[in-house]
A = this chain, B = another copy of it.
Amino acid sequence: MLFEAVKVKDALNILKENLRSIPVRSKEVPLLESLNRVLAEDIYSPEDIPPFDRSTVDGYAVIARDTFGAGESLPAILKVVAEIKMGERPGVALKPGEAAKISTGGMLPEGSDAVVMLEYTHPFEDGTLVVERPVAPGENVILKGEDVKKGSLVLPKGHTLRPQDLAVLAGMGLQKVKVAISPKVAVISTGDEVKPPGSELRDGEIRDMNSFSLAGLVLKWGGVPVIYGVVRDDFNDIRKAVFKALDETDLVIISGGSSIGTRDLTVKVIESLGKPGVLAHGLAVKPGKPTILGAVEGKPVVGLPGHPVSAMVIFELVVRPIISWFLGRPENYGRIKVKAKIARNISSAAGREDFIRVKLEERHGELWAIPVLGKSGIISTMVESHGLARIPSEKLGVKEGEYIEVELY
Contact = CB atoms under 8 A, between A and B. Distances in A.
Interface of A: 31-32, 35, 49-52, 54, 56, 58, 85-90, 103-107, 118, 142, 146-148, 154-155, 162-175, 191-194, 197-198, 201-217, 219-220, 225, 227, 233, 258-261, 306-308, 312, 336, 338-339, 367, 375-380, 382-383, 408-409
20 contacts: A32-B227, A51-B205, A56-B376, A87-B194, A87-B205, A90-B204, A105-B191, A142-B375, A147-B377, A148-B379, A154-B383, A163-B217, A164-B383, A167-B209, A167-B379, A168-B209, A169-B212, A174-B197, A175-B198, A339-B367
A215 B35 CA distance: 10
Contact of A216 (B166, B220, B261): B166
Given A197-B170, A312-B164, A32 B103 contact: no
A367 to B, nearest CB: 8
This chain: copies in complex: 2
Contacts of A339: 367
Contact of A338 (B168, B203, B210, B338): B338
A86 B312 contact: no
Contact of A87 (B192, B227, B375, B408): B192
A106 B204 contact: yes
B260 A58 contact: yes
A56 B375 contact: yes
A207 B173 contact: yes
Given A154-B383, A163-B214, 11 more contacts: A32-B216, A32-B227, A58-B259, A87-B205, A88-B193, A142-B375, A162-B216, A167-B308, A167-B382, A172-B207, A174-B197
